[in-house]
Structure formats: structure tokens, C-alpha cells
Amino acid sequence: MEKCNVQKADGKLGVLVVGLGAVSTTFMTGVLMARKGLAKPVGSMTQYDKIRVGRGAEKKYLKYDQIVPIASLDDIVFGAWDVYPANAYEAAMNAEVLKEKDIDPVKDELVKIVPMKAAFDKNYAKRLEGDNVKVAKDRWDMTEQIREDIRNFKKENGVSRVVVLWAASTEVYVPVNEAVHYKLADLEAAMKADDKENIAPSMCYAYAALAEGAPFIMGAPNTTVDIPAMWEMAEKTKMPIAGKDFKTGQTLVKSGFAPIIGTRMLGLSGWFSTNILGNRDGLVLDEPANFRTKEVSKLSTLESILVPEEQPDLYTDYYHKVRINYYPPRNDNKEGWDNIDIFGWMGYPMQIKINFLCRDSILAAPLCLDLVLLSDLAARAGRWGTQRFLSFYLKSPQHDYTQNEVPVNHLFQQYVMLKNAIREMGGYEADEEID
């Protein structure tokens, strides 16, 4: 390492996951199996990717942990909250993502991960029926109870640092309300006044994490940390935040394929995306109010890659539609169809069809690992607030909409941001530009 001044990753890293469903149990099982040398963490950039540092004779390609001090998989200790009381082994078996033979070697460790009672409000996820939930006087009390959980987890497990990751269901859409969500003092007052309409349970988790010195990652499209009041909280506590929504299947394809159309100067008439999935995520998204949250996140991708103002001949008035259909037979094996209507020379029409038969949790698990390790790294590097360099992993990257900032959704530009941040933290020059 050059002049890397990031604090070392000493001690154990606690990873507290909100939601012990398909994604989180796949993530946990994979990490525990990889530690034993029984599985490979395929898809994780922190474990495999190499970044160029230096130029000319000084040029080297190094893995992330050769550039910056990243926590080892051996140091991770898992905990969780969930509305269902099943332990991580039972939850992994129920999720039916992984085969029993890939879960059993770490059964003893998974059985010990018993979820704490969730901070839950049925109005935010009407399809969930769990009873492993906290009884709270108001939203402030709910938050205080989560803070206590984090403190107890640290004490009982002897961990020196904690990261909190939301891998639970998509909540009902909460529109940003300036009177509540813009200033931290207003947010706190609303929590104390038990303003259930403007304060989602996920906001209680985020506030509690930051208050306890833990970075917070929003893996669903919830409004949670995407509000100025939470940015203020992150600044006050000097903690990193990242969100929103793991970029796993269709949006990954979109953010990687749309640049082909844009770079080749082809026109776009319309992009229709539809998905079928049958896991708990699909069940919750079958509720229109919950789907609205997801739709806003998925629709935002194209508009900042194929920009009408920059190329009015090519991108004015294209039609963009996104659909998700709950279809139980598929369980976690999601199928995404994209129908793309493009036009070329002299306006002649052409079509592209993409059919991605993906496994949702298999794609999400490595993202969870990278987001956790890189958020912990950011905290030790003294970086706080929205971590834009983590946009690569997120469908609807956080950005300061109060200043009309446009998020970067172009996958390869996001990758440049990620590499530059690692270089900088490692004491190297951030030497790639986003054109």
C-alpha cells in the first residue's frame, strides 16, 4: 500500500441484517461456506476484482485488499431482525434458494443466528404476517429499542464495528415531505410524535444505526435514507450511508446495455421491462402501494443514460414501462424480459429482446458482501454521508435532488467512480475520469 491512511480493520465486524429472508440467508450461508473453503464468493468484486493503480512503469493490477485494508470474511459476525422467528438455518431452508447440501456444512453456525424482534408496522407491508415484532409506544421508542439491540449485539459478540444492512421487503411508498424529511430536528420531532405516515419503520433502523456509529445500507427502494434529514444525521454522526435498492437483474442489464445504444448513437422509441418472481419480495410487491416504491426506483435508470436534451433526434419521447408480476411457481428464480424498440439510419426500426433467467438472491448476495465491506472501509477512511462510489451496486443511487444533482446510472461510469474511490483511499491517484 502507498500512503494509505485508512484505519486498519482490527477486531470483529458485526453485520446486522434487517430481514432474514432469501437474500440475507443466501448471503450468510455463502460467506460461512467460503470461509471454510467449501464455496466460492463468485460475483463479489471485493473478493475477485483487480484495479489498476499507477501508470507507466509504476502500473500494477491489485486486488482491493492489496490497496486498502478490507475486513476479512473470517472476521464477520452475523445478526438479524425479522418478523418471523425462524433461525437462519430454518429461514435458508424455507427460502429454497440453496440446496440442502450447500447449507448443511454450516448448519451449526446458521442455527445460532436467531432473529431479534423486528420493528414492524403492518401498514408498510400488508402481505407479511409475522409475529416476532417489537411492541413500541411510538416511532422514537421503536428506534431506542433498535439502538439497544445494536449495543447488546456488540457486547455479546465482542465485535468492534457494526454495519447495518436492509435486506427486508420493499415498504409502501413514502413521498418526501419537506416539513418532516428535510431537517433532522423535524424528523426527530415526528418520530417522537409517532407520525406513522411520514416515518417508516426502516427510518427507525437507519436512525438507530447511525446513532450507534454503524454505517447503514438501504437494499430496497424505500425512501429511508434518501432524505436531507438523514444526510444531516450521517454528517452529525460522521457515518457513511448508501442506497437505494440492490441492482441485481434487470436494472443491471439496463445500466449495462443502454450505454451500447447511446455510444453507438442509435435511437430509442421504447423500452418495455417486465418481471415474474415468486419469493417473499414478489408477494410484497404484488401490493400496488409497495410496487410504486419499486417502480420509481426502476424507472430512474434510463433517463440519465439516454438523455433527450443531449440528443433530441435520438431520445425524445421514448416510452419506458416497467412491470413486476408475482408468480409463485418461480420462487426466487426471477425472469426478466426486456423488449427494446430502437431505430437506426434514416429512422428505420429494429428490435432487441433480452430474456434474463436469473436467481435473485444469488445475484444479491455478493452485492451485500461488497456493500458491507466497502461501507465499513468508508467509515474507517473517515468518509461520511452518501457514498456515491457505491452507486455501481444500486438501482436508484442516492443523490442530492435538492440541488438538482443527476445521479450516475451508467454502469461503466459507476465503475470508474468505484475504482477511483478505492484508489484514493489506498493513497493512489484517482486517475480515471467520467466523460
Smallest CA-to-CA distance from 354 within 345, 366, 367, 341 is with: 341
Number of Cα atoms under 13 Å in the Cβ half of residue 341: 12
Our measurement of the distance from residue 427's CA atom to the centroid of its chain's CA atoms, rounded to an integer in Å, reads 27
pLDDT tens digits, one per residue of 270-315: 999 999 988 877 888 888 888 887 777 767 789 889 999 999 999 9
- The H or E element spanning position 149 is helix 139-157
Q: What percent of the chain has pLDDT over 90?
A: 89
* Residue partners of 15: CB distance under 8 A and separation at least 6: 76, 77, 78, 79, 162, 163, 165, 372
pLDDT computed for residue 428 by the predictor: 95
| 151 and 5 Cβ atoms separated by less than 8 Å | no
> Given a cut of 80, is residue 32 above it in pLDDT?
yes
Domain 12-246+362-425 has CATH 3.10.129.10: no
Number of Cα atoms under 13 Å in the Cβ half of residue 272: 4
* CA 411 to each of CA 109, 273, 276: distance values in angstroms, whole numbers, following the listed order: 36, 18, 24
pLDDT computed for residue 280 by the predictor: 79
Q: How many CB atoms lie within 10 A of CB 194?
A: 14
> Given a cut of 80, is residue 1 above it in pLDDT?
no
Sheet hosting strand 333-343, strand order edge to edge: 319-326, 267-277, 333-343, 349-359
State the angle between helix axes of 201-211 and 228-237 in degrees (0 to 180), rounded to the nearest 10.
20
> Given a cut of 60, is residue 2 above it in pLDDT?
no
| 11 and 71 Cβ atoms separated by less than 8 Å | no
Examine domains 12-246+362-425 and 250-359 and report if their fold is the same: no
pLDDT tens digits, one per residue of 335-348: 999 999 999 999 99
* CA 84 to each of CA 4, 26, 115, 200: distance values in angstroms, whole numbers, following the listed order: 43, 17, 8, 19
For 250-359, CATH number? 3.30.360.10
Sheet hosting strand 76-82, strand order edge to edge: 116-117, 76-82, 12-18, 159-166, 216-218, 240-243, 385-386
- Is the model more confident about 380 or about 280? 380
pLDDT tens digits, one per residue of 53-67: 999 999 999 999 999
pLDDT computed for residue 4 by the predictor: 80
* Residue partners of 223: CB distance under 8 A and separation at least 6: 173, 174, 175, 176, 181, 200, 203, 293
* Residue partners of 211: CB distance under 8 A and separation at least 6: 143, 147, 233, 237
All cell numbers assigned to 246? 440492490
Smallest CA-to-CA distance from 170 within 202, 205, 132 is with: 202
The domain segmentation of the chain, as residue ranges, is: 12-246+362-425, 250-359
> Given a cut of 50, is residue 402 above it in pLDDT?
yes
| Residue given cell 465499513 in the structure block | 376
Average pLDDT over residues 153-170: 97
Task: Reply yes or no: is the peptide bond before residue 244 cis, omega within 30 of 0.
Answer: yes
All cell numbers assigned to 255? 445500466
| Residue given cell 493512489 in the structure block | 428
The radius of gyration of the chain's CA atoms, rounded to the nearest angstrom, is: 21
Dist CA 229 CA 207 (whole Å): 10
Average pLDDT over residues 31-60: 97
